[in-house]
A and B are shown apart, each in its own frame.
Chain A
Amino acid sequence: MLELRSISKRFGGVVATDDVTLDVKRGEVHALIGPNGAGKTTLIAQVAGDLGSDRGAILFEGADLTRATQHQRVRAGLARSYQITSIFRRFTVLDNLALAVQARSGSSFSLWRPVAAETALAEEARAIAAEIGLSGREAAIAATLAHGEQRALEVGLALATRPRLVLLDEPTAGMGPEESQGMIALIERVSARVAVLLVEHDMDAVFRLADRVSVLVSGRVIATGAPEAIRAHAEVRKAYLGESAAA
């Protein structure tokens, strides 16, 4: 569904992404793991269109999105959530989600009609709020949410665009064990209908959710395979899993 071919990116003298070839199949959850500084977020940024690649191609459902702008990729069904929460802090939870719904439903060059009157937007936003577990917090201003709730909203914004593939960048970042369970359950539900490229440090999440795992070290993919195979992979253990005790 998503194909990355030889994606490369360097910043001055630093090679951030080194000839990455990766694919995500329809209906799959593909986890991307690697030590800090491996270039995971940089890669996500390139797939989402935040950052341009120096070389390589990005194909999504057959279409070449390499030169597409970010908003064009979203229209094509490719959405992204951020590692560092990036929501509309002064908007309410409902308005945050309604905004994302608005983005893909009709033209927003409507200058006169009050948007508050559009009940369809609000209804769909409410449905998404329920899915991400924020039903009781719809009227809360996003900035007042607890960290875990903000992370949920973060993912919710990506989901509200009705993507066919979603790029989740460390969704459980900064979450305690209970909150993480909630997020993992959410991703599990979502993965039933949306393909997922999941960047994570939380190994529990990775091994519960992933169909396949790729390991990124210093910008290169050193291994791809089923979770168990990766766990046993010698080079991976050396480079990465050896750092965390319980695997």
Chain B
Amino acid sequence: MHRAAPLAVLVLALAFPLAVHEPYYLSFASRILVYALAASSLNLVLGYGGMISFGHAAFVGTGAYVSSMFIAEGITSAWIGWPAAVAASAAVALAIGAVSLRTRGAYFIMITLGFAQMMFFLVNSMKAYGGDEGLSLPARATGLGIDLGSDVVFYYTALALLAAGVYALHRLAHSRFGRVIGAIRENEARAEAIGFPVYRYKLACFVIAGAAGGLAGVLLASHGKYVNPNVLHWTQSGTLMVMVILGGVGRLWGGIVGAAALLGLEDLIANHRVEWLASMLPNYQQHSGLGVGIVLLAIVLFAPQGIAGAFARRRRA
């Protein structure tokens, strides 16, 4: 992407709440920011690390639940709840990663999926925190010197955290660590053969991604003031993967573009009626999944590098 593009997007993002006052759109934009962070965290482990983890929802969900549990118990300070939630996500990622990374290929995919499902069922049975009905929060967290209860403030908070996260990803990718992870993704056997303890690097990458996912989860729960076990379901992991693949695996903007594209597409289909489609199928808007599915399939079959990849290629051509 052209050098100025990131800056332009950032400026647009900063200006957005000033130009658009419709609460629905502000909330929708915040949701994109949060999912962009979640997808970017998955991009680290999936795109940069080459590990096809199908259980990333477990970390997002852990962050969402732990931060919510603090508020439910009356501890409303974000200074306490948020770091605790991120730490919890990192711990879960460490536990799951330590076991899962001893397997490879399809088995790795399945075991990460299995662990995420375990977390889903565990959380589903926590009656004290809503069980399968989920947990509603009275208010968002406090502290940080700002009023998170305001949707505008929340938007800027999410934007700041997303920007920080993506910048950190950028630095990571160009660091020594990033180079090793890239080498492992390229040729794991040789990386080990030149003296890198591969398992340790993969695990570290996995944990960092898990912690970042946890932060996204914190924001997710905070945004809607609601959390429910579905945030840990494997189909959520699938959705995150779809975002990353859509946006461009291993590309810095993959998570952001993918989240915006998928959520945008869903919203477009559900809320903006296209007459000629309606003439074929009157209530097509209730079946947005069909459109999304078709678009996704088309992208896999015809644009394998994802959207960000397609842009990058065109620039080089």
B178 within 8 A of A: yes
With A86-B187, A88-B183 known to touch, is A112 a contact of B171 (CB < 8 Å)? yes
Selecting from B99-107, B112-120, B189-197, the interface stretch reads: B189-197
**Which residue in A87, A110, A112 is a CB contact (below 8 Å) of B190?**
A87
B176 touches A113 (CB 8 A): yes
Q: Least Cβ distance of B74 to chain A in Å?
A: 36
Interface string of B172-207 (1 = CB under 8 A from A): 101111111011001101111111111001001000
Residue of B whose beta carbon sits closest to that of A117: B174
A79 touches B175 (CB 8 A): no
Interface string of A48-89 (1 = CB under 8 A from B): 101000000000000000000111001100011010001111
**Which residue in A48, A108, A161 is a CB contact (below 8 Å) of B177?**
A108
What is the number of residues of chain B that contact chain A, defined by CB distance less than 8 Å?
26
A102 touches B179 (CB 8 A): yes
Q: Least Cβ distance of B195 to chain A in Å?
A: 4
**Which residue in B182, B183, B186, B198 is a CB contact (below 8 Å) of A71?**
B198
Q: Least Cβ distance of B95 to chain A in Å?
A: 20
Q: Least Cβ distance of B176 to chain A in Å?
A: 4
Assembly CA distance A114 to B170 (angstroms): 10
With A86-B189, A91-B186, A99-B183 known to touch, is A109 a contact of B177 (CB < 8 Å)? yes
A157 touches B171 (CB 8 A): no
Task: List residues of chain A with CB within 8 A of the CB of B196.
Answer: 71, 103, 108
Task: List residues of chain B with CB within 8 A of the CB of A89.
Answer: 186-187
B193 touches A50 (CB 8 A): yes
B187 touches A87 (CB 8 A): yes
A91 touches B183 (CB 8 A): yes
Residue of A whose beta carbon sits closest to that of B182: A91
**Which residue in B175, B190, B195, B197 is a CB contact (below 8 Å) of A111?**
B175
Task: List residues of chain A with CB within 8 A of the CB of B177.
Answer: 108-111
What are 15 contact pairs spanning A and B, CB under 8 A?
A69-B192, A69-B197, A71-B195, A71-B198, A74-B195, A80-B193, A89-B187, A103-B196, A108-B176, A109-B176, A109-B177, A111-B175, A111-B178, A118-B176, A161-B195
